[in-house]
Amino acid sequence: METIARDWRFRVIDQIGGTHPTENQIAIIKLPFELTPETSPDIPDEYTKGIQYFRIGEAQVPWDGYYANYNGANLAVANAFGVWFEIRKRDSSWEAYHLARYSLRLKDWPCDSINLSLLDKTGEPLPTSRATTPASSYQYGSICRSVSAGVASLSLFGRHLTPPCCVIRKEPVPEHA
């Protein structure tokens, strides 16, 4: 089955059989949140310029998924709700912890009502004094995820949130200094 342009932005919800979040739920999504890498290269080509889909064994990558070349290293990225995020493995799952850096020039197609400013403010600052750290080497605390009444949700700092749905940056979000 061919992926159509509008359905790929909800992959994160569709994979778990959840209900798509409302615009109000999308508007309050914060980082970090659980986000698994794509298991196949199904995002339309128009939105994957500047990145490549690799399987383990095709390149030196820790898992199958999309990667951007950043200063000679493969930087793991994944898309949720039409927005590209940098991801890392945490325990037995993955998490989005930062909007993909603007310098990668990735094309987003955000879902209506996504708050890119909020996502930028709640994402981890970009490192400024060391080389890019491989996605698999991060070992911070984990976030809780649950599925309740068919809606995927996150528990972040005591707040229960539905994970992001389609997002696309209408204006570039500047990288942290």
Residue 76 to residue 88: CA distance in whole angstroms: 7
First to last CA, the chain: 43
pLDDT given at position 20: 87
Phi and psi at residue 26, to the nearest 5°: -65, -35
Residue 136 to residue 125: CA distance in whole angstroms: 18
Q: Which tens digit of pLDDT belongs to each residue from 89-100?
A: 999 999 999 999
pLDDT of 82 higher than 90: yes
User: Largest Cα–Cα distance in the chain?
Assistant: 45
**Predicted TM-score of the model (pTM):** 0.70
- Average pLDDT of 96-105? 96
- Average pLDDT of 28-44? 93
Q: Which tens digit of pLDDT belongs to each residue from 118-127?
A: 999 999 998 7
Sketch the domain layout of the chain as residue ranges.
7-125+139-161
pLDDT of 139 higher than 50: no
